[in-house]
Structure 1
Amino acid sequence: MTAPTRVPVRTRTSADLIRAEEPVLAHNYHPLPVVVARAEGTWVEDVEGRRYLDMLAGYSALNFGHRHPALVEAAHAQLDRLTLTSRAFHNDRLAEFAERLAQLTGQDMVLPMNTGAEAVESGIKVARKWAYDVKGVPADRATIVVAADNFHGRTTTIVSFSTDETARAGFGPFTPGFRVVPYNDLAALEAAVDETTAAVLIEPIQGEAGVVIPDEGYLTGVRELTHREGCLFIADEIQSGLGRTGRTLAVEHEGVVPDVLLLGKALGGGIVPVSAVVGRRDVLGVLRPGEHGSTFGGNPLAAAVGTAVVELLETGEFQRRAAELGAVLRDGLADLVGKGVIGFRSRGLWAGVDIDPALGTGREISQGLLGEGVLAKDTHGSTIRLAPPLTITEAELVSALGALARVLGRG
């Protein structure tokens, strides 16, 4: 039987490519109907040449925009030299990456991994090992306290302590050892902590939940509680960290220093997956050879790109831009309250926007924005997330807010 002639990908339309995905890709995503072919800075272009302003930035993986010249240059240079050795050997890029990342975050040691979920899984393992070796928790009895409405990834262990039934249903049995308490509730947190508690694991700002910002003093309270009760404070800064909120880390808004930081997304510069567990020496120092690892974690290409990312953040430019343009975003959203927006939460260049349900779901509003040449994404119900690259200009940001106003006005 003669195989059908395939149309080259480069000549297919968006509709062709979307149809082609249907029978061969697992349906674990429900993307908006746009097929991106090229990107530069804050803009992407589809296969027909239509341009869109990116107001999602890969869920903060593209904090520095698409194909930032310094990051692309670092990747190209490393591709010509060395890409992978595995951690069976040393490589000449890893030490500088670890040293500079530790210095940037005010920590001592770095455990390099690849994806955000790997960083979370690694943080969980480190916390448990620390609990047994240092705190003296009896074997297999360590617990970790987490917050409701969290999002830390989608592995089996992580969804074991999710409260999102879409993420959980059909994937049990679940991993034990977690206690879930309401977010932003110090009394509930204190009641859940006991002598078996290895760590409290929270997002300083809950991104997937709709950019939920806790009350002033909550993070300080978590830090004081964990100090007092002798357990670790693990901050998941995979979405909130590395400039997004106007500071290098979101915990800096309260001057808090956790015992362990989980980083990812923007750490790879939108080029390669890079994540890391960063923490105190007496915590990460519990790991011994053979107890944890990753073939690609800390590979030379990732270390080269990660170092270039740290160099960008060391200037403070992106943190300042996020803070200054964050005020523009906040004021623009405030002007839309009562005009289709019923509420919003923002910090830096990151916002969760609650749309009047009478005007449509979050997905419907995102589709309306797509028609205006703006890419955004819904989260729950009628809430959309805005998280543009930190390289966005004020004019581009104002244009995106104008597009949102027009979409709401048509509702």
Structure 2
Amino acid sequence: MAASDAGLRTLGVRVVDQGFWSLGFFAFTLTAGLALDIPMFAAVSVGTAIGAIAVGAARAWAINAPVIVAGRAGVAPEAAIDLVSSRKGAVAFAGVAAAVTGGWTAADGAIAAAVSIAALCALVVLADVPRQVLVIRGRYRQSAAISVTYAVLGGATGVAVASGTAAGLVVPLWCATLLVLTVMGVILCGRAESGPDPLSNQGTRVSFAWRMTAEALYLGIGSQVSTLILFLVNDDVATAGIRYAYTLVFAPAFVVVQGIQPLVIKHVARVAPEGPKAVVGVGVAWSVGVTAAVLVCGSSGALLLATVSADAGPAVALDYLLPVGIAIVSGQVFEVALLAARMFTEPETAHRIRIASVLLDVGSQAIGVTVGGAMGLVVALVVVGVARTAVSAVVLVATPRWVARHRVADEAAL
């Protein structure tokens, strides 16, 4: 009973943590959407989208790969994180993301705006990684303290902009807030200590790390390609609509998903020695929970947006709720299916599956926009989302059988 209560408290703290983090992002996004014109908000959306891609890559390198290798090796996830590597990775990915964002948004000649958005993109990455380190190490309350600070400063910025005190300063204030969060995270993580690496003799560590980092880049491009393509073809309304759907309507679902997801990865790493059926059981439960959360958010969001004036910025999200909802569900189901496969197969297996999925994403969405504009994109998102969910179900079902066959083959070879 005590263990169950502790687990519930951990889940509660993580949901509150992610809730405040999402609230901070929500506050800044909403303030930017109301204070900026659509072209500038679309540019900010591109900056945060590229930042999200870099965040995924940094997490894969510094967090997820070491935890998965630890699970395969029977090492506790908390002992898998190397602070030096995580910080170097965060800086590297932040720098690349800032360069890409600056070059992308400076194409129209607005250099000052491009610099500020590039800085925002970099700080999105730098502020995220220390929180993830704290979460994996079980220091949930310290991570929550950072998130509460984000929410408070985001709300204060919204009030200041609405009152006219900080009109036109949304992006600089957002950057300043993320810088504060980064410093807090680095301080709370503490100094990097030298010592024996419990995974130093694991030959698959680097193999997993670089493949998962590459996969995170593929995934990020695939998940954000709709926003980037629409921005590239100057469809600012559709760009804003998709971003509003992700960051406003489905924000509560992301609170649950992003809050609990690191715990799911840790739990999978812990139960992996019990065999593939235990891992698949976690995957099925997670898939059902994510689907329920997205359904509640999507239906509630549709009802609320139907009452909003068509002239209001968030109203443009109404046409994109279905494709975005399907994309979120299919993406999460696919992730947990790959996680299950990754615990028992060679690194290249999941890598190949990821490449095929992203190629399908990019190709279908590019063709959809080229042929049918925004409506073509909607059709592509729905069709690919349904197909990805079906493939994920097959992977979950097939993983225990694949492991059983290979164990029999290995025993016969001996």
TM-score by length of 2: 0.27
Report which of the two has the higher share of strand. 1
TM-score by length of 1: 0.27
Report which of the two has the higher share of helix. 2
